[in-house]
Amino acid sequence: MRLSTEAKELKPSATLAINELVMKKRAIGQNILHLGFGESPFPVHLSVQEELKKNVDKKSYLPTQGIYPLREKVSAFYKYHFNLDYLPEQIIVGPGSKVLVFDLLLALEGPLFIPAPSWVSYQHQAKLMKKPVHYIRTIAQQSYLLSPNDLEEAFQKYSQQKQIQKILLLNYPNNPTGQSYDPSQLKELASVARDHNTIVISDEIYGLIRFHGNKHQSIAKFYSEGTIITSGISKDRSLGGFRLGVALLPSLEQELLKSMISIGSETWTATSAPIQYAAIKAYDISSEITSFISDCTAVHQLIATYVHKRIENANIRCPFPQGAFYLFPDWNKYSKKLSKMGINSSYDLAKTLIKKWNIATLPGSEFGMLDNDLCLRIANCDYDGSLVLNKFRENQKQAFNDPENFVKSFAPRISAACDQLIRFTESIK
């Protein structure tokens, strides 16, 4: 059988591929420390489990847009957590936000602009549909944040006419960097986007995993007419395998809404019925769900700041984490010495770490970085989420007072991975 060029060039998603490799290595008894997969390890909240059990008999096809009571809950959730006003009519529920991003890229005309580094899937999705992609490079010294100037320059470079529609994919808190924008930065980016007729797909799936008391704000606050928010329950509620995501559309975009529903109805039909009913509970703004989210976020913060401190002390550059569960360190200052060891790219670096040091990471090149930029994505999720959450709740004060002891005792693979990364760095001669 002959395949299309786009299909032939597409590899399995790097994050899923590394996870499978780790599982295989573990199955044959190798002790791999897994910093490669960004899956939040916390358990399914009991009330969501109960709701899923109650709705296990729901077997009918549901409306493509998603059931109304769920969209009502999503609407209230966005008002409560982010002070954003979206009517249930402006919300689409889909089988994960990944597919909703894909459908948006399919529905919207215009070239796609992506800051680099960025999450792995955007570029591949766009390439599958032959959409032109332009990367906008960001740098470690500016915490990999996109500046309004960078955006302006990219628009001028790639698109001579301001009025031609463009798409910007912005993700914050960010996978792979763990960085986020503050409201003043978002306001400036919104102004450049508006000026250049740019639709912003704002991937805010890590919005509630924001650290150090900072609250997530959406660019939609400053550019409601041109922003589409995508999000879901995979990260802050640890429900990735449930496969449910949402897209929140601007109020006046009836045509886009219709088109999204049509694309969904011709491809995935509707999100799984029992999952939609269970998600009504997951979108509750009751204290049991909100405190679950904030406790999990506090654990993510504790672990991310612990890992950051350890690797920074070992002379590895890494922007301080602001949210999500990733760090994006780089070994560029060791490039000459690493080259003598045969390591000339982030891919070589990741390969050496898994082969010789038993640590799985992902190379920066998977996230749109240049091959010779020696950066890696580290996901801080390799621990028993139920145990760590319970221990954290038992004694939060002690956990924050002595994070080293807490991580060593209850997330030992995380501290062991830090030990190995440090040993590897010290071995560079």
Ligand X SMILES: Cc1ncc(COP(=O)(O)O)c(C=O)c1O
Task: Write out the residues near ligand X by the rule CB under 6 A.
Answer: 38, 96-98, 119, 171, 175, 203, 205, 232, 234, 240, 245
Is the bond preceding 329 in cis, omega lying within 30 degrees of 0?
no
**Minimum distance from residue 216 beta carbon to ligand X (Å):** 14
Two tokens, residue 244? 């449910």
**Is 96 or 117 the residue whose CB approaches ligand X more closely?**
96
**Is 45 or 98 the residue whose CB approaches ligand X more closely?**
98
Two tokens, residue 415? 């501290």
**Is 40 or 301 the residue whose CB approaches ligand X more closely?**
40
**Minimum distance from residue 75 beta carbon to ligand X (Å):** 18
Contact 132, 111 (CB under 8 A): yes
**Is 175 or 415 the residue whose CB approaches ligand X more closely?**
175
**Minimum distance from residue 240 beta carbon to ligand X (Å):** 5
**Minimum distance from residue 119 beta carbon to ligand X (Å):** 4
Burial letters 356-391, b for 16+ CB under 10 A, else e: ebbbbbbbbbbbbbeeebbbbbbbbbbbbbeebbeb
Two tokens, residue 372? 């010779």
**Minimum distance from residue 33 beta carbon to ligand X (Å):** 20
Distance (Å, rounded) from C-alpha 210 to C-alpha 294? 9
Distance (Å, rounded) from C-alpha 306 to C-alpha 417? 12
| Phi, psi for residue 79 in degrees, rounded to 5 | -70, -45
Residues 6+ apart with CB under 8 A from 230: 97, 100, 101, 104, 201, 202, 203, 204, 205, 245, 246, 247, 248
**Minimum distance from residue 299 beta carbon to ligand X (Å):** 18
**Is 211 or 424 the residue whose CB approaches ligand X more closely?**
211
**Minimum distance from residue 247 beta carbon to ligand X (Å):** 10
Classify residue 342 by burial, with Cβ atoms within 10 Å: 0-12, 13-18, 19+. exposed
**Is 99 or 193 the residue whose CB approaches ligand X more closely?**
99
**Minimum distance from residue 341 beta carbon to ligand X (Å):** 31
**Is 14 or 289 the residue whose CB approaches ligand X more closely?**
14
**Is 98 or 281 the residue whose CB approaches ligand X more closely?**
98
**Minimum distance from residue 95 beta carbon to ligand X (Å):** 8
**Is 97 or 305 the residue whose CB approaches ligand X more closely?**
97
201 strand-pairing partners: 169, 228
Helix residue spans in 357-401 (DSSP H) = 385-394, 396-401
Amino acid of residue 156: Q
378 strand-pairing partners: 327
C-beta nearest to ligand X: residue? 96
3-state secondary structure at position 94: strand
